[in-house]
Chain A
Amino acid sequence: DIVMTQTPLSLSVTPGQPASISCQSSQSLLHSDGKTYLYWYLQKPGQSPQLLIYEVSSRFSGVPDRFRGSGSGTDFSLKISRVEAGDVGVYYCMQGIRPPLTFGGGTKVEIK
């Protein structure tokens, strides 16, 4: 199974400041179709997870451009350019190249 490792475990950010989360996979997520199947989700307190980013860098419907995904192969990152109060929660990366789909352990983002 592909192991997904996220860092840091938690992040405390001043509103308006940037934040960055890293995710590393134990195997390349580059598919033979040329796409890389790395996803980012946010689970806000008391809510279900919501998709932010798919295929490394494509923002899902309604996701503001403050959220930017990047990376390739086995190393990925999610950057929030200016953190807002509504961005608090736990962020998860997930690999979708083949089952079993596996998630990172999560990064909890809080506001200072």
Chain B
Amino acid sequence: EVQLVESGGGLVQPGGSLRLSCAASGFAFSLYSMNWVRQAPGKGLEWISSINSRSNVLYYADSVKGRFTISRDNAKNSLYLQLNSLRDEDTAVYYCARDLGHSSGYGPDYWGQGTLVTVSS
């Protein structure tokens, strides 16, 4: 069974930093691209970053480019998101999601339960 478990969320002041983690199990993590998607309270879904299996192709949404960094450790079956220079508008539930990985397109299939990041003074 595919499982994705996020951790690392919490309350942080504007300008602060956090590191989110996603522990993967139940599949060959090293073979799949991975994504981070967030959802602000009461709002829709916003894709923010993707990383391929070998970590040599990274993508970011403009809203987080230069502030957030995606990474992974295939030996530890883990995905990470470093959040720096946090703003109020970064408050959201952050989901880790596996990419379907079957073709040239990009699309999450399995999602974690999410971790809440609250940016507030």
Chain A residues in contact with chain B, CB under 8 A? Answer: 31-33, 35, 37, 39, 41, 43, 48-51, 54-55, 60, 90, 92, 94, 96-106
**Number of cross-chain contacts by CB at 8 Å:** 73
Instruction: Fill in one digit per residue for B105-116: 1 if any A CB lies within 8 Å of its CB, else 0.
Output: 111111111100
Chain B residues in contact with chain A, CB under 8 A? Answer: 35, 37, 44-47, 50, 59, 61-62, 95, 97, 100, 103-114
Residue on B nearest A51 in the bound complex, by CB: B109
- In contact, B105 and A37 (Cβ under 8 angstroms): yes
- In contact, A96 and B44 (Cβ under 8 angstroms): no
Known: A33-B103, A98-B106. A92 touches B45 (CB 8 A): yes
Residue on A nearest B93 in the bound complex, by CB: A48
- In contact, A55 and B103 (Cβ under 8 angstroms): yes
13 contacts between A and B (CB under 8 A): A35-B105, A37-B104, A48-B114, A49-B45, A49-B97, A49-B111, A51-B108, A51-B109, A96-B105, A97-B106, A100-B59, A101-B35, A101-B47
